[in-house]
Amino acid sequence: MVLLACGSESPPPKLPDAFAVFPNLPLPPGAELISRAGGADALQITMFSPAPADGVTQYYRDVLSKGKWRLIGDATKPDGSVVLYAEQDGPPMWVRIWPTTDKAGTMIELAGAVVGKDSVAAKKGS
């Protein structure tokens, strides 16, 4: 016996509010949104900037080293991309930066997750 399901498929997972994941979202000058993806508690935003990769990388190093941000990780990968990890009093953020293949600009991926209130409280208590 074969049963076929009728009706609509379940809706795709709702993406979290960008401001819940990235409440202090630093964007380089001239950035254009390319895509947005994620699940219920995480979000990844991909952008293009006409600025050179070195300039965008320095922009993020500067922004993520002051104010509410603390730059925790800064690594250059074998493919030439730079990956930064920063924390704040709220959700952490990962930034991946690489030049376009024609060197006409830079691609930027911002990734973050919603941090539960108990996670924030536990971190403040440690």
Give the number of domains in the chain: 1
pLDDT of residue 108 exceeding 70, the answer is yes
| Angle of CA points 66, 71, 75, to nearest 5° | 140
Nearest residue to 85 (alpha-carbon basis) of 106, 107, 60: 60
Q: How confident is the model at residue 16 (pLDDT cuts 50, 70, 90)?
A: very low
What residues contact 99, with CB distance under 8 A and at least 6 apart?
52, 53, 80, 105, 106, 107
pLDDT of residue 19 exceeding 70, the answer is no
**Residue 65, in any domain of the structure:** yes
**Residue 42, in any domain of the structure:** yes
**Residue 5, in any domain of the structure:** no
pTM of the model: 0.73
In angstroms, what is the C-alpha Rg of the chain?
Answer: 18
- pLDDT tens for each residue of 35-73: 988 877 788 999 999 999 999 999 999 999 998 899 999
**CATH code, 79:** 3.40.1000.10
pLDDT of residue 123 exceeding 80, the answer is no
What's the domain range around 82? 18-125
**Residue 7, in any domain of the structure:** no
**Residue 116, in any domain of the structure:** yes
